[in-house]
Structure formats: C-alpha cells, structure tokens
Structure 1
Amino acid sequence: MTTEIDINAPLPVISTSEAPLLQTRDLQAFYGKVEALQPANIQVGAGQIVTVIGPNGAGKSTMLNAIAGALPANGSLRGQILLAGHDLAGVAIEKRVAQGMSLVPEKRELFASMKVEDNLLLGSYRRYQAGEKNYADQLQVVFDLFPRLKERRNQEAGTLSGGERQMLALGRALMAKPQILMLDEPSLGLAPLIVKEIFHIIQRLKQTGVAILLVEQNARAALQVADYAYVLETGQIALEGIAAELVNDQRVIDTYLGLAKKNH
C-alpha cells in the first residue's frame, strides 16, 4: 500500500477523555487514479457499535481496509486515521493490530486444515510475540461467547458450517484483546437464522467493552444492534445519525429496509 499522507507531520495526541477511540478525517481511498472513497469523516467511541451500511460496491469494504491498513498494492489514501488519538499514518497493519485494532475480513481467511483451537491461538500470536505470559487467557472468554467452538475445538476449521466459520473468525480476532473490532459483512452468505444468531453475538460483544465498527449490507440487522450509523453511497457518506432514528428515516426505509413495499 502506498500513502500520500505526510508522515513527518503527525496529528498531536488528543488528550480529552471524550475523544473517540477511532476517528477518520477526510479519509479518501484510491485504486490507481480511481477514487473509491470520497472524503469520509466517521468516529467510533469506546464501547460503541457503529455501522456503515450501503449497497454492494458503495465503498464500505474499501473504507474498512483503509482504516486497517489493508488496501491492496495499487491502493493509496489521503486524510487521517486516529486510534486513541494517535495518527496511524505510515503504521503497518501488524502494528495496528498490536495497538488494539482487529479486522474480521469478509472472506474470514481461516486455516481450513488446522484445528479450531489452533486457529484461535493464532489470533493471540502478536501477544505471544510481545512476551505476554497469559496470551491464551482469552480462550475461555471466546468459548463462553461461542460454546459451539468449544465443542469443536479439536475439529478442523474446514469442516465447520458457514455460521461456525464466522464464529471462529470473530473468536480469533477477539484473541488479540482488541480495543476495536472491525467486521466486514459478517452476515454474508449465511442463512437467516444464523444471521440472527451472529447479530445477537455482536450485541453480546459490546458487553465485553470492545468497540465495534460494522460494515454490513443487511441494513435492518445492522441498525438494530448499532448505536450510530453512516450510510455510504457511491463512495460518499450520504447520511448519518443515531441508528434507532435512521430506522425510521423515510429515505433509509425506502432504499434499504424495503418497508415501503410492504405497506402498499
């Protein structure tokens, strides 16, 4: 990934206790010369669930990958990304993870031939590298959240169902003890009942104190669990507000929730 940010002029650390945990300032993303994300300003407070909804191709995953430092080789960005007040300009993805940022990618990227428990332990590898003696202490937390993973701890990840693989991807990210968990389309390809279960788990994750940035096409489910929401359309934030209020916004209803058709 290349960057057009001046890394010699980092933003000062924000000292106020009310500062958001994660914040972007005029964040733009490009693939070559193509602007995939127009200047975007979002923020996530500690312990909050914030969602970015919008149609396929709107730039949601691009935004998430830009924040995580995971843009492809032809990607570049402008603007600022702040984590706990620190400018992440020039910070590699590995260091972002070490600083408390975990991404669950759309494709989950599990190691199919490895056991469930080994996949989970890989999530705590950075903590192991840093010399933390209790790097595996999150295992019980993950098993409490996902009892099915405990039952299948010795099973190969490739043999799990779609819903179980998503649980494993979430659990692996939690092993890093992140401050903020970023989820890219967690409901993608899952049956409706499993989607309901995954979003119930996302609500429970909030109780652990972790902040969540949720990118999701399933607007109804996302707005039901989120505190605040941004609507992204063709690479631009078209609307934002308290999630419970956006559920009743006529534009959101007509475009994303499909309620208008039901009322006719």
Structure 2
Amino acid sequence: MNTANPLPGPHGRQEPLLSVRSLGAAYGHIEAVSALSLEVRQGQIVTVIGPNGAGKTTALAAIMGVLPATGSVCFDGEEVSGDGVEQHVARGMALVPETRALFASMSVQDNLELGTFRFRREPRAARMQALDEVYELFPRLKERRLQEAGTLSGGERQMLAVGRALMSRPRLLMLDEPSLGLAPLIVRDIFRILAELRQRGVSILLVEQNARAALKVADEAYVLELGRVVMHGPAAELANDPRIIETYLGAAGRHQRTLVSG
C-alpha cells in the first residue's frame, strides 16, 4: 500500500475519535451492556477483552447502531447516538462482525467492491485505487479475486471481511473476534496487519477473546464482565497485572501464546 497516500492518513487530533459514555443495551428484558464508557483516539488500537457472554459483541453492535442503545456515542466530536448503520458508515466507521457476513456466491472482488458504498458517487478510478490498496495489504485476495467467497479458507474469509471494511476508507475500524477459529499462522498475520493499519492512521476498536494477542497489539484495554467494565488501562500494564494473568493469561492462556509468538 502506498504510504504516501495511506488508508487513511492520521489527522493529528488529540481528543477522542470515539467517545462512548454510559452505554446500555439489552435483548428484551435482559441487560447485556450496562453503563459502558470507553474512548478510542486517532491512530490507537483499543481492545475489549472478557469471557463469553460478557457483552463484547453487543457493545460493538450498539456503538455501530445495529442495536438500540441508551447513553452517548460521539464520533469525531459529534453526537451520533440513535443514528443508523448507513449514517455511521458515511462518517467513517466500519464494523467487521464475527460472522464476517460475506456473500458466498459472489467473487472476492465483487465482495470487496460492495465496501465502496460510502464512495459510490465518486469516479470509478477512486474506487479502483482503494481496491489496489487492499490487494497490496492482502496479496492472497488478489490471487483469489475471481473465486467465489464461499470457497475461501477461514483465514482468507477473515482477510476478505477486513478488506471489504477497508474499502470504505474508515477512520475507525471495529472488529469482533477476528482470530476466532483461525490457525496460528493466520492469527499472527491478522494481528500484524492490524498493527500496520495503526501505523497508517486507522483507529481500531478490537473485541477479542484471545487476550494475549489483543493485549500484545493494543495501546489501551478494557476488561468487560457481565456487561460492565471492571478494569481499564494501558494494555502493557494490564498484560502484567496479576488478576489478568490469572484469569486470562495463565494456564488457559498457554495455547494463546502459540498464536502470537514467532
């Protein structure tokens, strides 16, 4: 990817790009997220870790406008609470869901081009430039650009899902469990690419069960349990906190170590 024309470039702003305050979301009468507050600054990777059922996926869906929510969501200083997914995408937010939500019978390239909806009124040359940048980041997708998405491996489908989100040139990329079900080598590739995107100015909000990998790549971290933030701080500090080591990085985390070393 051309670093002289990054995807996208840093804006040098000190205030949070994303500011979430007292976010609440529920499924019927069951409260899944309660009083959640977090921030993502320009060019940061912020991770949310926690056990299954902690509300991590719900939090992303509520921030993106997929689920109705209470509280405040501000993006680039503007209150966006209550706005829908299309409005969030137009502002520069993108979500890669755990399901990846690809169109299995469409080609890799057609799936990618669907991601240019935000720039649908711009000349095709601009969209093709975005496509070339994604292919530079994910050479394997270029090799398979004419294949149907449903024929790809799990790792390739994750690359395609991330690539499609990047086609909209987001300022904030939100990912839900990007390492789920992937082989160790592919996990390392995915997290290496996330670190590279940060260098190019993309802010990232990462929901991840693989706490070891997430804390290694992130700048800031939030620990979510039963829909509430129970710990927050620099990722490097949390990675050395005895409570985090015991709960997330101890014996149960030995397998995770193989996914991020090398």
**Match of 2:211?**
219
SS at match of 1:35: strand
Does the 8 A contact of 2:14 with 2:42 survive in 1?
Answer: no
Instruction: Find 2:163's aligned residue among 142, 167, 171.
Output: 171
Confirm whether residue 45 of structure 1 aligns to residue 41 of structure 2.
Answer: yes
| Greater fraction of residues in helix | 2
Please, which of 96, 109, 119 is the counterpart of residue 104 of structure 1? Answer: 96
The alpha-carbon deviation at position 259 of structure 1 amounts to 5.2
CA change 1:148–1:261 in 2 (3 A) is closer
AA paired with 2:36?
A
What does residue 134 of structure 2 align with?
142
Q: Does 1:24 align with 2:20?
A: yes
CA distance in 2, matches of 1:161, 1:175: 21
Q: Distance in 2 between matches of 1:44 and 1:260?
A: 29
User: Kindly, what percent of the aligned residue pairs are identical?
Assistant: 60
Q: Cα distance 1:211–1:186, how it changes in 2: closer, same or farther (>3 A)?
A: same
- 1:226-245 correspondence runs (5 A): 226-245=218-237
Q: Name the TM-score, length of structure 2 as normaliser.
A: 0.89
The answer as to whether partners of 1:253 and 1:259 remain within 8 angstroms in 2 is no
2:223–2:232 contact (8 Å) kept in structure 1: yes
- Please tell me whether the aligned partners of residues 191 and 213 of structure 2 are also in contact (alpha carbons under 8 angstroms): yes
Q: CA RMSD in A?
A: 1.6
Structure 1: runs of 5+ lacking an equivalent: 1-15
Query: Contact 1:44–1:50 (CA<8 Å) still a contact in 2?
Result: yes
Give the equivalent residue in structure 1 for 2:3: none
Sort the Cα spacing of 1:118 and 1:261 in 2 relative to 1 into closer, same or farther, 3 A.
closer
The alpha-carbon deviation at position 107 of structure 1 amounts to: 0.4
Is the Cα–Cα contact under 8 Å of residues 107 and 149 in structure 2 kept in the other structure?
Answer: yes
* Of 29-38 and 233-242, the range deviating more from structure 2: 29-38
Residue identity in the other structure for 1:232: L
Q: Is the 8 A contact 1:124 1:136 kept in 2?
A: no
2:245 alignment partner, one of 249, 253, 258: 253
Query: Which string of whole-angstrom CA distances, capped at 9 and with x for unpartnered residues, describes residues 87-121 of structure 1?
Result: 11221110100100000000001111111111101
3-state SS in 1 of match to 2:69: strand
1:117 matches 2:122: no
CA distance, structure 1, for counterparts of residue 252 and residue 188 of structure 2: 23
Pick closer, same or farther for the CA change 1:105–1:260 going to 2, 3 Å.
closer
Residues 179-218 of structure 1 aligned to structure 2 (within 5 Å): 179-218=171-210
TM-score of the superposed pair, with normalisation by structure 1: 0.88
Q: What is the aligned counterpart of 2:85 among 93, 108, 113?
A: 93
Q: Give every structure 1 segment of 4 or more consecutive aligned residues whose post-TM-superposition deviation is greater than 4 Å.
A: 259-262
- Structure 1, 91-100 or 195-204: larger mean CA deviation: 195-204
The one-letter amino acid paired with 2:135 is F
Point out where structure 2 has 5 or more consecutive residues left out of the alignment: 1-11, 255-262
Q: Deviations over 1:115-164 (max 9, x none)?
A: 11111010002211x44551332111111110100111111111110000
Deviations 1:29-58 (A, max 9, x none): 111222111101100000100000000110
